[in-house]
Amino acid sequence: MIRRLLPYGVALAAVAVVAAGLGVAAWALALPRIETFLLVFVLLAGAIAWQLGRGPAVLATATFALVSDYFFIEPQNRFGTTTLSDSVHLITGVLAAAAVIQFVHVARHDQLLLRKRKELLQDVSPRIIQSLDADEILNTVAEATLRVIDYQHFRLYRWDEAAERLVLVKSVARADPYTGIDWHTVTLALGEGITGIAAQSRRSILVPDASQDARMVYPSGVSPIKESVLSVPMVTQNRLFGVLSLARLRARSLSLEDVPVMESIAAQTALALANAEQYAEAEQTIKALAMIETLQPPDGGLPDADIDQRILQGFVDLSQADLALLRRLEADKRYHVAAVGGRSWPKNAVSTGEPLTAAQVAWLSDPKVTVYVADPGTDQKLPDWAGRGAQLAGVKAAVYLPMRAGQRFVGFVGLQWRRPRWFRPEQLGRLQLLAAQAAIALDTRHALEHERGRAEALAELERARREFMQIASHELRTPLTVIRGYASLLEEGSLGQLPQPARQAVQTLMDKSSEMRAQIERMLLLARLEDGAALPQMAPLDLRTVVTEAVERVQPQVQLKEGRLRLELAEAPLPILGDSERLGTAVDNLLQNAVKFSTGPPQIEVVGHRENGRIHLVVRDHGIGIPEAARRHLFEKFYRVHNPQLQNVAGTGIGLYLVRQVVEGHGGRVRVDSHLDEGSAFEIDLPVAPETPCSPAGDGQGGETPSPLVGEGRGGG
Ligand code: ADP
């Protein structure tokens, strides 16, 4: 109350101060009256109206009329006028003041209104701009507009580029008759209705009385409404986003002052929609990329057809194409239909597309073409098959995207629309990106298939090799046994005494057949190990027996080369659980290598003993030794040390591989220690058998210290 009365008090005070000032001036100057007092009071009334409003100014005018009548108009110091001129004077002053007050009031009101709107606009714009979701933007705009202009109907039309029509996407009705009308039935072409005209001309249009304007378009069955309508286009960066339309009941209820306000809101809405669109596009790209990523499972777990379909779906999602088709290069060098789809691909329709030759897709295979946009109706470059198909399907716009893996043109995607449309560069860019990713997916799959094929072929080859080895070694074994049988008869002299040269020959025969037998045994064992079918025949045994027998087998070769083999075995048994045949072959290999890889007469030591709960067997030679770099490959299958010196040493590179397989199969280990030109030592260690029927001696008793058991083999001369 006090705050409301305060301006009145201030106005009265101002009048009092000015009147007193004038009175003092009149007295000082000894003037009966000051002629300009009226002017002073009119100005004062204007100033009060400007600062304090109309009420206080009216009060001030009334007060100064009284004051001037009493103090300044003759006869002084009483109310009432004596002359007509004085009356006219007073009335003129009051009227002038009233005019000034009214003028100031109007000017001030508009200014205040404008300021208020500006403030409101400043308040709502960030909310419009900040939003990144199109629906949210529309809601915010409708609500924000209401705060600035009190409308009865709000309509927001979006420009649909594909359909080339304005489509109502938001309608807020706040009074009858708007609430009862379904406005969504109206879509407008450019130039159609006030909205269409605003969109076409990109200018705001104010219709003071819509019921009198023939340009207005109402939903069918709705009679023209007595209303004011304002339509403002939403444009940014020269691109039309749609039109904002406001309506208020009664003619001329919207004024020209509303236009700039609405234009500002429309511009911000367009900007916000553009941002939202870009955001949505980016989001879509990310989604598409994420999807493409899932197309490449490392083990190719998805069936091919699924991958093709998913690739195509990615394109459809991104482009909203009506028809879409993926063609892929296949082994017959032709481009086959791999997947079909699209928003209006006829359901249940199977594609009948014939495979295309390279010549038929030549127009796309130029590496410079990354995307081909066509209007199938007029494009002369499109090959027959494409033009004809598009015509049949009523296609008005098409995009072809070649997919390239390096230089290879591995396929392409055709996207088609039944309405004419244009493509923004970003859209095409996204599609290209997708095509590049899809090409990688297809190529990876192709490479995987290729690799799988190769692996299968290799496995087949390996199987055949094993089978061959098994058969071959079996087939060789029998005749060899016969040969060796006769040779040993000859050697023993059972078939009559032979002359010295013949005896020599028979010895060589025996020796070479031993080598051959060993080789066959190796091959057989390898075949058995790799087959996995034949399990080792594990039995408790004394390793000394295995070693002694192997030494006996190699003795003839040692003797032939005039070498020496020293065998040093523990006195107590060396109990293990094992397959004596396989272990025998393993020891054979070590002994034969020791003979083979000694340049002069072989000097070989074989030591077997038990230590720390394990059984150790060492085969040491003083031969050529093994280079450091070769040592870690030594136990690999088919590995042989590359050494020109060894060129005439026969071998296959499976001996040591077998040794390791057999030893490890017995829970043991094999190691090598070697010095070039000094010799090598191969050491096997095996676990002691848990229960040892062949030896009552436990761990740590007897046998710990090696002692000579079997005499030394000495090369015969
Ligand atoms: P192979 O004897 O049939 O060549 P192995 O697997 O038994 O196949 O041996 C692989 C290679 O290891 C041999 O080619 C040879 O170069 C080297 N090697 C094996 N044992 C010895 C050894 N005692 N002294 C020197 N080199 C050896």
Cite the DSSP H helix spans in 597-700.
628-631, 655-665
- For ligand 1, say whether the CB of 626 is within 6 Å of any of its atoms: yes
Dist. CA 442–CA 405, nearest whole Å: 8
- Please tell me the residue having the least CA distance from ligand 1 atom 7: 655
Task: Please give the number of the atom of ligand 1 that sits closest to the Cα of 657.
Answer: 6
Please indicate, yes or no, whether residues 65 and 195 belong to a single structural domain of this protein. Answer: no
Task: Please give the number of the atom of ligand 1 that sits closest to the Cα of 658.
Answer: 6
Task: Please give the number of the atom of ligand 1 that sits closest to the Cα of 682.
Answer: 23
Question: pLDDT value at position 78?
Answer: 63
Q: How far is the CA of 516 from the centre of ligand 1 (A)?
A: 16
Please indicate, yes or no, whether residues 190 and 161 belong to a single structural domain of this protein. Answer: yes
Dist. CA 172–CA 493, nearest whole Å: 123
- For ligand 1, say whether the CB of 526 is within 6 Å of any of its atoms: no
Q: How far is the CA of 652 from the centre of ligand 1 (A)?
A: 9
Three-state DSSP class for residue 256: coil
Does 339 map to a domain? yes
- For ligand 1, say whether the CB of 651 is within 6 Å of any of its atoms: yes
Q: Which of 263, 262, 339, 350 is nearest to 307 (CA)?
A: 339
Please indicate, yes or no, whether residues 198 and 326 belong to a single structural domain of this protein. Answer: no
Dist. CA 590–CA 180, nearest whole Å: 103
CB of 64 closer than 8 Å to CB of 98 = no
Question: pLDDT value at position 656?
Answer: 95
Q: How far is the CA of 302 from the centre of ligand 1 (A)?
A: 47
- For ligand 1, say whether the CB of 637 is within 6 Å of any of its atoms: no
- For ligand 1, say whether the CB of 655 is within 6 Å of any of its atoms: yes
Angle of helix 425-492 relative to helix 304-319, nearest 10 degrees, comes to 170
Angle at 562 between CA 558 and CA 566, to 5 degrees: 55
Q: How far is the CA of 646 from the centre of ligand 1 (A)?
A: 10
φ, ψ at 115 (rounded to 5°) = -65, -40
Dist. CA 686–CA 381, nearest whole Å: 79
- For ligand 1, say whether the CB of 652 is within 6 Å of any of its atoms: yes
Of 227, 259, 281, the domain-final residue: 281
Q: How far is the CA of 605 from the centre of ligand 1 (A)?
A: 17
Domain of 645, CATH number, reads: 3.30.565.10
Please indicate, yes or no, whether residues 445 and 299 belong to a single structural domain of this protein. Answer: yes
Q: How far is the CA of 585 from the centre of ligand 1 (A)?
A: 15
Q: How far apart are the first and last CA of the chain?
A: 142
Q: Which residue among 635, 640, 671 has the greatest number of ligand 1 atoms within 8 angstroms of its CB, and so is best to mutate?
A: 640
Question: pLDDT value at position 72?
Answer: 66
Does 92 map to a domain? yes
Does 289 map to a domain? no
Three-state helix/strand/coil letters over 612-647:
CCEEEEEEEECCCCCCHHHHCCCCCCCCCCCCHHHC
Is the bond into 644 cis (omega within 30 degrees of 0)? no
- For the CA atoms of 143, 145, 150, 155, the dihedral, rounded to the nearest 10 degrees, stands at -80
Q: How far is the CA of 594 from the centre of ligand 1 (A)?
A: 8
Q: How far is CA 144 from CA 101, 149, 273, in A?
A: 34, 9, 15
Residue 274: CB atoms within 10 A of its CB come to: 15
Q: How far is the CA of 559 from the centre of ligand 1 (A)?
A: 20
- For ligand 1, say whether the CB of 621 is within 6 Å of any of its atoms: yes
If one counts the domains in the chain, the total is 5
Q: Which of 171, 48, 33, 188 is nearest to 105 (CA)?
A: 48
Sign (positive/negative) of CA torsion 434, 436, 439, 444?
A: negative
Task: Please give the number of the atom of ligand 1 that sits closest to the Cα of 649.
Answer: 4
Q: How far is the CA of 359 from the centre of ligand 1 (A)?
A: 59
- For ligand 1, say whether the CB of 594 is within 6 Å of any of its atoms: yes
Does 357 map to a domain? yes
- Please tell me the residue having the least CA distance from ligand 1 atom 14: 640
- For ligand 1, say whether the CB of 593 is within 6 Å of any of its atoms: yes
Dist. CA 183–CA 169, nearest whole Å: 10
Tokens, residue 587: 């020891």
Does 324 map to a domain? yes
CB of 683 closer than 8 Å to CB of 609 = no
Q: Which residue among 522, 597, 628 has the greatest number of ligand 1 atoms within 8 angstroms of its CB, and so is best to mutate?
A: 597
Q: How far is the CA of 343 from the centre of ligand 1 (A)?
A: 70
Taking only the tens place, the pLDDT of each residue in 623-681 is 999 999 899 899 998 898 887 777 777 788 889 999 999 999 999 999 999 999 999 99
Stretches in the chain below the pLDDT threshold 70: 32-35, 71-82, 162, 287-302, 347-352, 420, 422, 533, 691-717
Is the bond into 75 cis (omega within 30 degrees of 0)? yes
Domain of 420, CATH number, reads: 3.30.450.40
Of 430, 449, 475, the domain-final residue: 475
- Please tell me the residue having the least CA distance from ligand 1 atom 8: 653
CB of 156 closer than 8 Å to CB of 173 = no
- For ligand 1, say whether the CB of 587 is within 6 Å of any of its atoms: no
Question: pLDDT value at position 699?
Answer: 42
Of 109, 129, 155, the domain-final residue: 109
Q: How far is CA 500 from CA 176, 452, 504, 563, 671, in A?
A: 135, 62, 6, 22, 44
- For the CA atoms of 657, 661, 666, 667, the dihedral, rounded to the nearest 10 degrees, stands at 90
- For ligand 1, say whether the CB of 641 is within 6 Å of any of its atoms: yes
Does 114 map to a domain? no
The two most distant CA atoms of the chain are separated, in Å, by 186
How far is residue 715 CA from its own chain's centroid? 75
Question: pLDDT value at position 627?
Answer: 92
Sequence letter at residue 647? Q
Residue 345: CB atoms within 10 A of its CB come to: 19
Q: How far is the CA of 481 from the centre of ligand 1 (A)?
A: 26
Dist. CA 81–CA 94, nearest whole Å: 15
Burial 472-498 (b: 16+ CB within 10 A, else e): ebeebeeebeebbeebeebbeeeeeee
Please indicate, yes or no, whether residues 211 and 190 belong to a single structural domain of this protein. Answer: yes
- For ligand 1, say whether the CB of 595 is within 6 Å of any of its atoms: no
Q: How far is the CA of 641 from the centre of ligand 1 (A)?
A: 7
Dist. CA 161–CA 165, nearest whole Å: 7
Please indicate, yes or no, whether residues 97 and 173 belong to a single structural domain of this protein. Answer: no
- For ligand 1, say whether the CB of 680 is within 6 Å of any of its atoms: yes
Element (H, E) at 544: helix 543-560
Tokens, residue 634: 């030594």
Dist. CA 98–CA 46, nearest whole Å: 9
CB of 270 closer than 8 Å to CB of 235 = yes
Dist. CA 340–CA 414, nearest whole Å: 10
- Please tell me the residue having the least CA distance from ligand 1 atom 26: 626
Task: Please give the number of the atom of ligand 1 that sits closest to the Cα of 643.
Answer: 16
Angle of helix 304-319 relative to helix 258-293, nearest 10 degrees, comes to 170
Please indicate, yes or no, whether residues 376 and 439 belong to a single structural domain of this protein. Answer: yes
- Please tell me the residue having the least CA distance from ligand 1 atom 16: 641
Please indicate, yes or no, whether residues 526 and 544 belong to a single structural domain of this protein. Answer: no
Give the structural domain span for 632.
Answer: 539-714
Please indicate, yes or no, whether residues 635 and 663 belong to a single structural domain of this protein. Answer: yes
Q: How far is the CA of 625 from the centre of ligand 1 (A)?
A: 10
- For ligand 1, say whether the CB of 679 is within 6 Å of any of its atoms: no
φ, ψ at 588 (rounded to 5°) = -50, -45
Q: How far is the CA of 677 from the centre of ligand 1 (A)?
A: 14
Question: pLDDT value at position 698?
Answer: 41
Question: pLDDT value at position 293?
Answer: 66
Tokens, residue 592: 């034969």
Please indicate, yes or no, whether residues 314 and 405 belong to a single structural domain of this protein. Answer: yes
Tokens, residue 180: 């009862």
Does 588 map to a domain? yes
- For ligand 1, say whether the CB of 624 is within 6 Å of any of its atoms: yes
Please indicate, yes or no, whether residues 581 and 629 belong to a single structural domain of this protein. Answer: yes
Please indicate, yes or no, whether residues 527 and 586 belong to a single structural domain of this protein. Answer: no
- For ligand 1, say whether the CB of 640 is within 6 Å of any of its atoms: yes
Does 131 map to a domain? no
φ, ψ at 392 (rounded to 5°) = -60, -40
Task: Please give the number of the atom of ligand 1 that sits closest to the Cα of 594.
Answer: 23
